[in-house]
Structure 1
Amino acid sequence: MVSPMLSMNQATIKHADLRQTLDTLTQTGYHSVGLWREPVEAIGVPEAVRMVSDSGLCVSSMCRGGFFTMPEGPERRAAIDDNRRLIEETSAFGCTVLVLVVGGLPQGSKDLAEARSRVAEALAELEADALAAGVTLAIEPLHPMYCTDRACVSTLDEALDIAAPFNPKAVGVVVDTFHVFWDPNVLRSIARAGREGRIAAYQVCDYRTPLEADPLLSRHYPGEGVIDFKALTQAVAATGWHGDIECEIFNRAVWDTPFDEVSRHVADAFDKYVAPYWPAE
């Protein structure tokens, strides 16, 4: 039986379309799914909403917004407008979490501080839209190896500092084990996120070396690497946060595995390496 607190992020079975994703998860016994915009938009939001509703699955998050660290101009205006559309799409599913991968260094720039300031400026523009839609913009700090091309925000404390001026209902953070386990301050940062009411999502997968040739595809099933899921899961639970815990894996070997096998493997790994450290209801 699949734990009722487990959600599978759609990226874990990347090659599945929305119908295949929903069928796989319902047949395995999942209760929720984390969606990505591309499979949703491929069939149109209204039809996707209908399909998800008919499946009985809840939507734990929508991935992904962000990528707005470029200087002011048409490209930045387009990015802000795109995020406004994504807020509306997220709300259409009854989902309250839009995950943000904020963006790295603009071409030709070496100024990470300026890139981070542009993230804050974008959030200031989007806060009212998020509040009106009942959607939390969840800043996801990414492992430092991605700081120049994907996310100039690498730690939970950085994400929390950026979020601080905004209503916690509008701007929160993602605790993703792959991206934050290495941080010596991570447990204190999780506690801070809890005190400030900023935890919007908890995502789990494992980290091991050597990395894949493409570091983006170096995520593994829980239990296959070095991450201490006990410490991180207990820290999140201690904040009082309640929500679906997503498993999100980017790995070519996982993607090449039949979808139903992946869904069962995720559930088994979650039961063994994550669920034991979450307090029983």
Structure 2
Amino acid sequence: MSPDLERFSINQMTVRQLPMPDLVDACGRSGVTHVGLWREPVRAYGLEATAKLVRDAGLTVTTLCRGGFLTATDPVERAEALGDNHAAIDEAAALGTDTLVLVSGGLPPGSKDLRGARERIADALAVLAPYAAERGVRLAIEPLHPMYAADRCVVSTLAQALDLAERFPAEQVGVAVDTYHIWWDDQAPAQIARAGAAGRIHTFQLADWTTPLPEGVLNGRGQIGDGAIDMREWRGYAEAAGYTGPIEVELFNEGLWARDGREVLAETAERFVTHVIR
């Protein structure tokens, strides 16, 4: 493995067109030793089968995506969400990763109460965090760009994520730092320092911001080096805050998904070296 790739982790969504065995094989051939997995393809291939596959290949699972969606007001829906998150924690433990990424959830239908939605996240974390800790799993609250606040994630800044996380021990709840979602926020560097000082940076993820955004915007994350974000600068913020763990590249991009997945993996690794490491 190239020393330049020691910290590189490929998030499964970046090359979602690769079936699980092909993803693992491509990582081996590319010298990639870290991978971030998603629950849906893991379940499709089989939890135990996936755990054995990555273990036998010597891959480290850096994160599992995703838990969360904890803002419902309906008691039945809240119970279902908690049950799903308990299952996600169990899945993370079975895969050998210590980090479950949480996308918190948007406003319930008809609601305009952002503050109330965030409090319901805290209420859910009070149930989930001890359960996760017993299984060696940390919860990483991921703030998403404000354009997602209504329907996907009412936590839009690192400050908001840390305000929630700091109600719990750092070894239980921290944050996911994703350049795509926070690069616009001039307070983000200080919040990264805040998170690092408390040991709450549980994962660091990269994606570039390119324009124009596609219709629907969800699948608009650009390949590293194609957009407006200075990746070395953000790596510097994370490292100055004490983060020395894997750096995961997570891209939602229809153009990349239409290409050969092995080529995309190799390109992403090359871009990582060029725009993040060197």
List runs of 5+ in structure 1 lacking aligned partners.
Answer: 277-281
Equivalent position SS for 1:103:
coil
* Aligned partners of 1:134 and 1:169 also within 8 Å: no
Equivalent position SS for 1:69:
coil
- 1:24 and 2:33 correspond: no
Q: In structure 1, how many angstroms separate the alpha carbons of the residues matched to 2:240 and 2:74? A: 41
What are the Cα deviations for residues 154-204 of structure 1, in whole angstroms up to 9, with x where unaligned? Answer: 000000001111011110100000000000101101000111111000001
Aligned to 1:91, which of 90, 93, 101? 93
Shift of 1:75: 1.1
* Aligned partners of 2:51 and 2:96 also within 8 Å: no
What are the Cα deviations for residues 218-276 of structure 1, in whole angstroms up to 9, with x where unaligned? Answer: 10111100012122110100111121100000000001110111011101110111113
Q: In structure 1, how many angstroms separate the alpha carbons of the residues matched to 2:133 and 2:197? A: 20
1:258 is matched with: 260
Shift of 1:208: 1.6
Q: In structure 1, how many angstroms separate the alpha carbons of the residues matched to 2:232 and 2:265? A: 22
Equivalent position SS for 1:41:
helix
1:41 is matched with: 43
Pairwise CA RMSD of aligned residues? 1.0
Aligned residue type for 2:84: D
Equivalent position SS for 2:65:
strand
- 1:151 and 2:153 correspond: yes
Equivalent position SS for 2:218:
helix
Equivalent position SS for 1:11:
helix
Aligned residue type for 2:65: C
Q: In structure 2, how many angstroms separate the alpha carbons of the residues matched to 1:16 and 1:100? A: 24
- 1:6 and 2:11 correspond: no
Q: Give runs of ≥4 in structure 1 deviating > 3 Å.
A: none
Aligned to 2:248, which of 231, 246, 249? 246
Q: In structure 1, how many angstroms separate the alpha carbons of the residues matched to 2:235 and 2:124? A: 31
Shift of 1:92: 1.0
Shift of 1:72: 4.3
Shift of 1:43: 2.4
Aligned residue type for 2:111: S
Mapping for residues 26-175 of structure 1, pairs under 5 Å: 26-175=28-177
Aligned residue type for 1:149: D
Equivalent position SS for 1:134:
coil
Equivalent position SS for 1:266:
helix
What are the Cα deviations for residues 45-95 of structure 1, in whole angstroms up to 9, with x where unaligned? Answer: 111111111111110000000011001411110110111111111011211
1:275 is matched with: 277
How many percent identity over aligned positions? 45
Aligned residue type for 1:157: A
Give aligned pairs, total.
Answer: 276
List runs of 5+ in structure 2 lacking aligned partners.
Answer: none
Q: In structure 1, how many angstroms separate the alpha carbons of the residues matched to 2:111 and 2:18? A: 37
Shift of 1:15: 2.0
* Aligned partners of 2:140 and 2:176 also within 8 Å: yes
Equivalent position SS for 2:84:
helix
Shift of 1:153: 0.3
